[in-house]
Structure 1
Amino acid sequence: MTRPAETRLRVGVDGVRARAVAVDGEGRLVAVHRGRRGDSPARVLDALFRRGAGTASTDRVVAILPDLTLAGSARRARVGVLRIGAPAATAVPPLAGWTTERASLAGPVAMVGGGHEYDGRVAAPLDVPAVAAFARTCAGKVDAIALTGVNALENPEHEQLAAAVIAEELGPDVPVVRGAETEALGLLERENTAVLDAALARAARAHIDELSASVRGHAPGAALYLVRGDGTVLPALDGYRHATAWRGAALGGLLHGAARLAGVPSAIVVEVTADRAVVGTTIDGLLPDSGLPREIDGVRTGLRAPRLTVIQRRDAAFTGRLHAALARAGGGPDELPVVLVGEAPDDLPALPGIAPIRPEDGDLAAAFGAAAAEAAGSVDRIFWQGTGGGQDSVTRARMLALDAALRAGADPRKLRETPVREALMTYVPVPAARLQVTAVGPLLELADVAAVEP
């Protein structure tokens, strides 16, 4: 494989399957490394660069990291948990529903006065002395703090102020994870996600720092991103506090990468292994949402699970179930192509009426998906429809999604949006609607940053 010397390269690392690729600006593979399962992402990246991938010409490195769990992490942090919302939000305490074993990761747990109403108005003043007192009880006892405020999605001011107070008391070495950093409707789901992220912060730092050192050693000018569970990207600096965001990244990257290797914008993708087949859909760079929350270690989080079907190969009705899954995955007016990848795509029995695409180098689908991954921002929340009515809410939702995509690294000149989905909230005493929208686009090239600056 050869490349022009001036070509800027994007490197994708599949840290689960031990694959790495370098891709040029035209989407062509220019370097490949196939390692052995168990090789660390940093080792896989090192090997790719030794095989001739450009260093000075590498624009970015995008990595799929292994899922982190409480059970599998020897480096999970002990967490201080603070909820802002007393007295209104004290009926169900933090960590409700957690098993005793899982809840043992918590250090001091407290609820303090503060929080906001559904429309962003202050419900009660933030009890700053109580926040400071909580921080002092955590000194020397915790490695991270998780704090969540009532209606902080609508107004994060109390979360931000409390985080500043805690940082002043405990210093910069104790990360503070805020619930409003997760786009989730429910207080408990945001809180659970923040606690899990805080508990995994030390393990996340170890993984990211090792990979960062490899990037700096080979391509110090390259930006580092991580793949999220939906196949889009997360800036590496944000990954320190959001390990749950990359859960499922190996499959999310594979679904997008398989379609791109096949040369189609949207597809039904089937990953076939010796034991199972996983059916998923990618639509113009996004994974359809199952509508179900993702559970991690038995804890309900604010993350959304993609729509997937898993079929065990030993199932006597395997072929019939696979046909049914393909029919469901393609539900819509347009017939989507079927792409087969994985360890054993050729072992799949013939499917009448379906001519699947088997892309060359299909085992590199996830790494290729990482190299070509885009940045996205999503909004899923309830908007109070005040004097401006529903259209103002829709405009605000779109702007929030666009802003989130830009923060993730998207090129503002190439953003595209999904249609806004609206569900009226008829059971609340004020006009309100749940709005969902996503903005997505390719990553801004480092050399093009000046072109979009005012």
Structure 2
Amino acid sequence: MNHTMTHNEEMYRIGIDVGGTNTDSALLDSQLNTIHTVKVHTTRDVNEGIVESVRRLIAESGVNPAQVRYAMLGTTHCTNAIVERKHLGKVGLIRVGAPATTSIPPLADWDESLKAAIGPHTYVAKGGYEYDGRTIVDLDEAEILDICTRMKGEVDAVAICGVFSPVNTSQEKRIEQLAKQVLGEDMPVTLSHEIGSIGLLERENASLLNGALLNVISGVVHGFEKALQGFGIQAGVYICQNDGTLMRSEYALRYPILTIACGPTNSIRGAAHLSGLNDALVVDIGGTTTDIGVLMQGFPRQSSAAVEIGGVRTNFRMPDILSIGIGGGTIVRAGVAPEEVTVGPDSVGYELLQRGRIFGGDTLTATDVAVKLGRFEWDGALTENLDEAICRQANAIITRDIEDAIDRMKTSADPVDVILVGGGSILVPDKLEGVARIVRPDHLDAANAIGAALGEVSGETERIYSLDDMTYDEAMAEARSHAIEQAVLAGADRATVQIVLTEDIPIAYLPGNALLVKVKAAGRL
């Protein structure tokens, strides 16, 4: 009997999203239906929460672990490490661009605590290219070997950043060979052209942060793989990127910077999947913050501004997200008169179940307010001694803050559809100013984990082409095929890869008819 069934055995995928308050996980079948979801508290050692999630998913759903084919993890580890300045490795930086780029030194806009965490080894060496890939100055290999010798025993990783290296990558690649000669084959090297786009300082910052995070991501990825193996799951392991797509775990081990801020993105993708809407605002209310993002044609709207992470300017892709300090654990303080009520921005976070009033604690939170106003069924005894006037006032503030935030993310005055997700979605009333309809999909409190499990795999390219050397169509075709190759390298099935974004910008200030081309491709696993 069993023998005949094996060919149509169901294949499952697990998605896990680690947030500041909760770790959410979801089990999906091959049709991407949600079979089961689990919410556990994020623990101080994040891996414990991940292990507990996997254990409960398997135990409660009764699924055979051998049938789990893919496992996806979205994590805030890297973001938190930068913001908290913890667990960062020491990085040696070689900027290739003397004498052209010496006016602004490396780490110029970094604060002292972050500089101290990453270490003092930054050097500017001779070299670099023009915008069209012609050499400004040849590399001085003796100089590079000397710099590497000075770093020996002092750094955990090396970052190499050359002027216009995304256009011509050969100097960066040669320095990598020289660095490994001196520092050993195992020394991790980050090449800036693989990470950032054209702007030198932001690309340099992103490369330094990437090197500093290698330790952090390796703990996460290996912990996740070990947790899966412990339950007999032999799955392909993927890590979520901040553009709503996935990368293979071995790719993430080299480019941890690309995992920054993937949480809000996962919620947006999950919301689209659960609601069936492609164009809407997504309001994700967690324990600590409300994140609002914009869904455009099924993908998160990208931010055009330079992104600051922990106070450092970088220039890689990020979703356009507005975060406000309102969540289920947000603290409500009452004044003498009802109009003196204040809400947040601080939150009790994962201590909600001990400190919230309806749980027998002594702190009035946004969750207590929602329960008092009848948005959620709860044991009446604990809600009776909540002051109704204070709750109404707090509710008015919460509603107004969320309406204001929605208004700031809208592109026109017309009412928009809003998809509500996250555990804190009970904070929102059924009608909001400026909103056409509010959609509360099934499984809304695990949208982030479902978004993680859905992911497609992407690749992208950003290069300057000289139209003196080739036609416009040739330049675009070359950029498209490069983006597709990047997606396949990251784990996409070539047959399903599609171009999801192309931009080309003529660069008037450069001679030779220069054209900056950005292309992104995405496909299924």
Normalised to the residue count of structure 1, the TM-score between the two structures is 0.88
| Farther-moved stretch of structure 1 (365-374 vs 124-133) | 124-133
Residue 23 of structure 1 and its aligned partner are, at CA, apart by: 0.8
Contact 2:501 2:521 in 1 (8 A): no
Match of 1:347 in 2: 427
Q: Which has the larger radius of gyration?
A: 2
For 2:112, the equivalent position in structure 1 comes to 100
Cα distance between partner residues in 2 of 1:434 and 1:31: 45
Q: Letter of the aligned partner of 1:299 in structure 2?
A: V
**Are 1:415 and 2:497 an aligned pair?**
yes
Partner residue, 1:260: 273
**Displacement of 1:7:** 1.0
2:357 aligned residue: none
Q: Distance in 2 between matches of 1:218 and 1:153?
A: 43
Distance in 2, Cα, partners of 1:102 & 1:193? 13
Instruction: Report if the CA contact (8 A) 1:67-1:248 is conserved.
Output: no
Amino acid at match of 1:20: S
1:91, distance to aligned residue in structure 2 (A): 2.2
Counterpart in the other structure of 2:340: none
Query: Does residue 39 of structure 2 align to residue 34 of structure 1?
Result: yes
Give 2:87's match in structure 1, choosing from 60, 75, 86. Answer: 75
Provide the rounded CA distance (Å) in 2 between the counterparts of 1:251 and 1:171: 39
The answer to whether the Cα contact below 8 Å between 2:287 and 2:424 also exists between their aligned partners in 1 is yes
Secondary structure of 1:268's match? strand
Contact in 2 for aligned 1:227/1:234 (Cα 8 Å): yes
- CA distance in 1: counterparts of 2:40 and 2:297, whole angstroms: 30
Q: Quick one: distance in 2 between partners of 1:410 and 1:50?
A: 30
Give identity over the alignment, percent: 27
CA distance in 1, matches of 2:510, 2:232: 54
Matched letter for residue 86 of structure 1: A
Q: How far apart, in 2, do the equivalents of 1:57 and 1:273 lie? A: 31
- Measured in 2, the distance between the counterparts of 1:432 and 1:254 equals 38
CA displacement at 1:372 relative to structure 2: 0.6
2 CA distance for matches of 1:60 and 1:305? 25
Aligned residue runs from structure 1 range 424-439, under 5 A = 424-439=506-521
Counterpart in 1 of 2:72?
62
- Give the CA deviation at 1:194: 0.9
Which residue matches 1:121?
Answer: 134
Structure 2 vs 1, CA of residues 21 and 318 (structure 1 numbering), >3 Å: closer, same or farther? closer
In structure 2, runs of 5+ residues without a counterpart are: 327-342, 344-393
2:261 corresponds to: 248
Following the alignment from structure 2 to structure 1, what is the Cα–Cα distance between the partners of residues 83 and 251?
A: 23
Q: Would the aligned equivalents of 2:283 and 2:291 in 1 still touch at CA under 8 Å? A: yes
Verify the 8 A CA contact 2:41 2:49 in the aligned structure 1: no
Structure 1: distance between partners of 2:138 and 2:49: 48
Q: Structure 1 residues 175, 324: CA separation in 2 closer, same or farther (over 3 Å shift)?
A: same
Worse overlay, 129-138 or 253-262? 129-138
Q: Residue 80 of structure 1 aligns to which amino acid in structure 2?
A: G
Output the CA distance in 2 between the equivalents of 1:106 and 1:147: 15
**Bigger mean CA offset, 236-245 vs 311-320:** 311-320
1:151 and 2:164 matched: yes
User: RMSD of aligned C-alpha atoms?
Assistant: 2.7
Alpha-carbon contact 1:268-1:336 (below 8 Å) kept: yes
Q: Which amino acid aligns with 1:212?
A: E
| 1:392 paired to 2:474 | yes
SS of alignment partner, residue 159 of structure 1: helix
Aligned residues: 441
Task: Identify the structure with the greater helix proportion.
Answer: 2
Which SS does the other structure have where 1:370 is aligned?
A: helix
| 2:54 paired residue number | 45
Q: Residue in 2 aligned with 1:448?
A: none
Counterpart amino acid of 2:67?
A: S
Aligned to 2:151: 138
Runs of 5+ in structure 1 lacking a partner? 444-454
Matched, 1:12 2:22: no
Closer, same or farther in 2 for the Cα pair 1:220/1:107, shift >3 Å?
farther
User: By how many angstroms is 1:428 displaced?
Assistant: 2.4
Q: Once the 2 structures are TM-superposed, how far is the Cα of residue 291 of structure 1 from its aligned partner?
A: 0.4
1:90 aligned partner, one-letter code: T
Q: CA shift at 1:219, angstroms?
A: 4.8
Q: 1:385 to 1:328 in 2, by over 3 A?
A: farther
